[in-house]
Amino acid sequence: MTELLVQIEDVSKEYIAGAIRVIALQEISLTVERGEFLAIVGPSGSGKTTLLNLIGALDRPTRGRVVVDGIDLGALRGDQLADFRRERIGFVFQLFHLVPDLTALENVMLPLIPYRRQLKFNLEQRARALLEAVGLENRMRHLPGQLSGGEQQRVAIARALIGNPKLLLADEPTGNLDSQTGKEIVELLRRLNREQGLTVIVTTHNPEIVAWSDRVVRLRDGRIVKA
Ligand SMILES: Nc1ncnc2c1ncn2[C@@H]1O[C@H](COP(=O)(O)OP(=O)(O)O)[C@@H](O)[C@H]1O
Ligand SMILES: [Mg+2]
């Protein structure tokens, strides 16, 4: 088994929006090792989200190859893509994306509820343990609207971990938080990385995340630029 968790080979991504062709990524090559904490930085529009979405199989490259955990994502179809995401990837977003009328506990359980019967563990117990691990043992029955931004992001991180993923992809996870709360979220992500060996790729403008990362990749106009 290779030490590389992510291999991106000569990847380009173009979007066609009406008559306009946008080259979001141009001939990107990048590898990420298991256990790494990698920050992807760059101005707005430089391709950060696009790159994260390709690694998480939320989108496909126009050219090139993306291999994650030994799986060539270009070879996956339909259900296989959904299985790949559910089994290997956790996603965290800037705007949390919690379901407003479900409790914190229900939000964390949600991704695996359809698969409950096949699980080798008790879903609710695992969700509770994850909420405890992110410091929300006293917020399990709260709705998202009853939680602070930082607490909502903790719920989202617990939800991302419910399937015990190899890789956590976080798209500007502190972008909607004040600096102190953002710092706490960075510390949480770094702790998950150190203590559980979780590989983390995070896009960010946050200098704290950059400082705490093992490595920083800079994007500009869809290309990797040297620091
Ligand atoms: N679905 C889409 N359709 C057309 N253009 C898109 C789409 N998504 C992103 N883009 C364009 O691709 C470029 C990179 O976007 P994005 O990856 O979101 O950058 P970042 O996350 O760094 O702000 C931008 O120019 C953006 O406008
Ligand atoms: Mg983005």
15 domain residue, yes or no? no
Residue 1 has pLDDT above 80, yes or no: no
Closest ligand to the CA of 59: 1
What integer pLDDT is reported at residue 125 of this predicted model? 97
> Cα of 105 to ligand 1 centre, how many Å?
33
If DSSP states are collapsed to H, E and C, what string results for the chain?
CCCEEEEEEEEEEEEEECCEEEEEEEEEEEEEECCCEEEEECCCCCCHHHHHHHHCCCCCCCEEEEEECCEEHHHCCHHHHHHHHHHHEEEEECCCCCCCCCCHHHHHHHHHHHHHHHCCCCHHHHHHHHHHHCCCCCCCCCCHHHCCHHHHHHHHHHHHCCCCCCEEEEECCCCCCCHHHHHHHHHHHHHHHHHHCCEEEEECCCHHHHHHCCEEEEEECCEEECC
> Cα of 14 to ligand 1 centre, how many Å?
9
Residue 2 has pLDDT above 90, yes or no: no
Report the alpha-carbon distance of residue 160 to residue 158 in Å, rounded: 5
Q: How far is CA 28 from CA 2, 24, 167, 200, in A?
A: 21, 11, 20, 19
pLDDT digits (tens, 9 = 90+) for 158-195: 999 999 999 999 999 999 999 999 999 999 999 999 99
Taking the CB of residue 105, how many other CB atoms lie within 10 A of it?
20
Phi and psi at 102, nearest 5°, equal -110, 145
Nearest of 188, 216, 195, 199 to residue 35 by alpha carbon: 199
1 domain residue, yes or no? no
Q: Which two tokens stand for residue 118?
A: 């096949």
Q: Average pLDDT for residues 21-44, to the nearest whole number?
A: 96
What ligand 1 atom has the least distance to the C-alpha of 52?
17
Q: Average pLDDT for residues 32-38, to the nearest whole number?
A: 97
- Cβ pair 200, 170 in contact under 8 A: yes
pLDDT band at 64 (very low <50, low <70, confident <90, very high): very high
Domain that holds residue 182: 35-61+76-225
> Cα of 193 to ligand 2 centre, how many Å?
22
pTM: 0.95
pLDDT digits (tens, 9 = 90+) for 68-104: 999 999 999 999 999 999 999 999 999 999 999 999 9
140 domain residue, yes or no? yes
50 domain residue, yes or no? yes
- Cβ pair 186, 206 in contact under 8 A: yes
Which of 16, 50, 95 to probe ligand 1 with, by most ligand atoms within 8 A of CB? 50
> Cα of 59 to ligand 2 centre, how many Å?
14
Residue 39 has pLDDT above 80, yes or no: yes
2 domain residue, yes or no? no
> Cα of 44 to ligand 1 centre, how many Å?
9
The domain tally of the chain equals 1
Which residues sit with their C-beta closer than 6 Å to ligand 1?
Answer: 15, 17, 22, 24, 42, 44-50
7 domain residue, yes or no? no
5 domain residue, yes or no? no
pLDDT band at 227 (very low <50, low <70, confident <90, very high): low
pLDDT band at 226 (very low <50, low <70, confident <90, very high): confident
User: Which residue has its alpha carbon closest to ligand 1 atom 6?
Assistant: 15
pLDDT digits (tens, 9 = 90+) for 98-150: 999 999 999 999 999 999 999 999 999 999 999 999 999 999 999 999 999 99
What ligand 1 atom has the least distance to the C-alpha of 13?
12
Domain CATH code at residue 47: 3.40.50.300
